[in-house]
Amino acid sequence: MSLRYAILGLLARQPSSGYELTRKFDSSLRTAWHAQHSQIYPELAKLEAEGLAEIIKRGARGSKTYGLTESGHDALRHWLVEVAPDRSQRNESAVRLFLTQLMAPRERRLAFERDLAYVHQQTAELRLIKDQLAPDEPFAPQVELGLRTNAVLSAWLQEQADAATREGGDGPQ
């Protein structure tokens, strides 16, 4: 049921259309939850049918902006406060890190470097977001957490890439 509450949460922060939600799942929420538009539109329809969300504006090109109803806010608050978190995760990159030792040193080094490039790019995006943050932005701590986590990951990946090089996956490129 996380998709439902992720959507309710985004709508609580800012009324949005399905299209806008899709982009948010792809940007700000990308490290937390993944969803395609083909999942988002039906869920919005269900949320509306159940009285948790409502269309508050119809714009150009048939766009529909949804906001939370009273009971939508209640449902979200209840989930956040009363429901025990599900700690299980699905993270393919983590599975790969777990299995890297099964690769030969050379392939391992390339895998670490590929991840390193990804983390660097993510870090750059986060820095951009951080610099553009309004001073009162309540979202600032989350950006900071992302940056700190990326710093740790980046250092670790670099160490592992170096170790793989020493082990025989040597040479530039």
Partner DNA sequence: TATTGACATGTAGAATCTGACATGTCACGT
Partner DNA sequence: ACGTGACATGTCAGATTCTACATGTCAATA
Return residues touching DNA (CB under 7 A): 1-3, 17-20, 22, 34-39, 41-42, 44-45, 59-64, 88, 90
Give the number of residues in contact with a second copy, rule: CB under 8 A. 56
Q: How far apart are CA 105 and CA 161, in angstroms?
A: 9
**Does residue 27 bind a second copy (CB under 8 A)?**
no
CA atoms of 55 and 163, how far apart (whole Å):
55
Residue 148, contacted partner among DNA, a second copy, none, CB below 5-8 A by kind: a second copy
Nearest residue to 18 (alpha-carbon basis) of 46, 47, 44, 56: 44
If one counts every other C-beta atom within 10 angstroms of the C-beta of residue 133, the result is 13
The helix (run of H) or strand (run of E) holding residue 67 is strand 64-68
Any residues with CB less than 8 A from the CB of 9 and at least 6 apart, and which? 76
Q: Which does 32 bind (CB under 5 to 8 A by kind): DNA, a second copy, none?
A: a second copy
Interface with a second copy in residues 93-132 (CB under 8 A): 93-103, 107, 110-111, 114-115, 118
CA distance 164 to 173: 13
Residue closer to a second copy, measured from CB, 124 or 145: 145
User: Where on the chain is the footprint of a second copy (CB under 8 A)?
Assistant: 2, 5-6, 9, 12-13, 28-34, 76-77, 80-81, 85-103, 107, 110-111, 114-115, 118, 138-139, 141-142, 144-145, 148-149, 152-153, 156, 159-160, 163
